Amino acid sequence: MLRRDGTAGMTAGAAAHATVITVEDVAEVAVGAEFMLTVRVSCLAGCDLSGIPIEVMAPDNAAATVPAPYPPPPAGEGREGVAEIAAARRIALKAPLRVGEHVWRLSCAAHKSSGWHHDASLLRVPVRVRPHETSLAVWAIPSPVVTSRPFAIKVGAKSAPGCDLTGMPIAVRDAAGTMLAGGVLGDTPWPGTNSLYWTELTLVAPAEAGMFSWSVEFDAVGLALPHQGSSSRFSIAIVDPPEHRLTIKVVAQETASPVENAQVRLGAYRAATDGSGLAQLMVPKGAYDLNVWKSGYDAPTASIVIDADRIVEIAIAPMPEENPDAAWQM
């Protein structure tokens, strides 16, 4: 017989064409997550396989048949210039609740299409199933903290799919891995969030002053849906007990009027000026750089030595506005 293109072809039933099943790569999904798999069925001889059903066998051996008809197949170009018609369809699948590699099997039974017999086909599709991710938040960290004194911080954990983390353990550890504090997450998410479960932990500051880097760790073992644990580092300033009161007055350079809400920093100590331009800090003896910041102002850095109660006045000047036409006036 003659084929549609006028070349000699084989009579129906004389030989079987190969049925090819291909999928777009799905390398990894989270446990229990739904995902889509794009499947294409084709014949390199160019036969139309758009009405051929595919059986999907899940890793737990549950079978389902993707029914025909399918959307109109796009025309493509096969090997060696042979026109290939690929019937594409998207299949909704769900990952198992176990971490690891799982295999779906896609099969097509032997059939007759376009007057030709086609062989059965089987494709194994491995997919790596991973645990869900978690993330941590640390806030309300006081700064600075006086040596050997107790203080509290707030810590929270969140599951990527928003799972309930009530009662899950959380801990703070130092750089050597020693636990400094531990607790469990509460049953109510932090206000304004859907699933940030949190708690307050009380710690005791080290006896030595300095900057310390600690970590918050969340252990996800025990959740019904497998999750990865997570950790997050934070820094905290530990200082010697305060001995003297430093009063800072911030004024405008041109008018000597008080500047409100100027940010004052003295080493690890921070404060903001009030309506009278005043801020107060209790600090130990020592040499410090005093920095003042206010949006739109230029403030000098002052080096001071604290060996008694002191009052310091800092004058700040407004920064000149940039002239957008300056480049054209040169």
pLDDT in tens, 80-109: 433 445 667 888 999 999 999 999 999 999
Q: pLDDT tens digits for 112-140?
A: 988 899 999 999 999 999 999 999 999 99
Q: Is the dihedral angle over the CA atoms 143, 148, 149, 153 positive or is it negative?
A: positive
pLDDT at 77: 43
pLDDT at 216: 98
In a domain, 5, yes or no: no
In a domain, 219, yes or no: yes
CA distance linking residue 325 with residue 316, whole number of Å: 27
In a domain, 276, yes or no: yes
- Structure tokens given for 316: 């700040």
Q: Which of 183, 218, 239 marks a domain boundary?
A: 239
pLDDT at 4 over 60: no
Q: Which pTM value belongs to this model? A: 0.72
Query: Are 229 and 262 found together in one domain?
Result: no
Query: Are 114 and 139 found together in one domain?
Result: no
pLDDT at 1: 31
For position 224, which CATH number holds? 2.60.40.2550
Query: Are 22 and 125 found together in one domain?
Result: yes
In a domain, 83, yes or no: yes
Cβ atoms of residues 317 and 259 within 8 Å:
no
Burial 103-140 (b: 16+ CB within 10 A, else e): ebebbbeebebeebebeebebebebebebbebebebee
What does the chain come to in residues? 330
Q: Which of 239, 257, 281 marks a domain boundary?
A: 239
CA distance linking residue 197 with residue 187, whole number of Å: 7
CA distance linking residue 221 with residue 65, whole number of Å: 37
- Structure tokens given for 78: 């096969």
Q: Count Cβ atoms below 10 Å from residue 320 Cβ, excluding itself.
A: 7
Tokens 């969030």 belong to residue? 193
CA distance linking residue 132 with residue 297, whole number of Å: 48
pLDDT at 279: 97
CA distance linking residue 232 with residue 219, whole number of Å: 12
Which range, 22-36, 42-56, 73-87, 156-170, is most confident?
156-170
pLDDT at 330 over 80: no
Q: pLDDT tens digits for 206-245?
A: 999 999 999 999 999 999 999 999 999 999 999 999 999 9
Q: How many domains does the chain have?
A: 3
Burial 208-221 (b: 16+ CB within 10 A, else e): ebeebebbbbbbbe
Query: Are 108 and 194 found together in one domain?
Result: no
pLDDT at 5 over 80: no
For position 82, which CATH number holds? 2.60.40.650
Q: Which of 130, 151, 171 marks a domain boundary?
A: 130
- Structure tokens given for 190: 């932090």
Query: Are 138 and 234 found together in one domain?
Result: yes
Q: What is the mean pLDDT of the chain?
A: 87
CA distance linking residue 118 with residue 157, whole number of Å: 55
Query: Are 102 and 181 found together in one domain?
Result: no
Cβ atoms of residues 38 and 18 within 8 Å:
no
Query: Are 23 and 124 found together in one domain?
Result: yes
Query: Are 117 and 149 found together in one domain?
Result: no
Query: Are 152 and 118 found together in one domain?
Result: no
Least confident of 58-62, 199-203, 207-211, 231-235: 58-62
CA distance linking residue 109 with residue 55, whole number of Å: 8
In a domain, 268, yes or no: yes
pLDDT at 27: 80
Cβ atoms of residues 124 and 72 within 8 Å:
no
In a domain, 324, yes or no: no
Domain around 206: 134-239
Question: Going by DSSP bridges, is the β-strand pair 302-306/286-293 parallel, antiparallel, or unpaired?
Answer: antiparallel
Query: Are 119 and 166 found together in one domain?
Result: no
For residue 279, what are the β-bridge partners?
Answer: 248
In a domain, 7, yes or no: no
Query: Are 209 and 285 found together in one domain?
Result: no
In a domain, 104, yes or no: yes
Query: Are 207 and 255 found together in one domain?
Result: no
**Amino acid type, 238:** I
Cβ atoms of residues 106 and 65 within 8 Å:
no
Q: How many CA atoms lie within 13 Å of 211's alpha carbon, on the beta-carbon side?
A: 6
Q: pLDDT tens digits for 275-311?
A: 999 999 999 999 999 999 999 999 999 999 999 999 9
For position 273, which CATH number holds? 2.60.40.1120
- Which are the contacts of 228, defined by CB distance < 8 A and separation ≥ 6? 130, 131, 132, 133, 134, 220
Burial 6-30 (b: 16+ CB within 10 A, else e): eeeeeeeeeeebebbbeeeebeebb
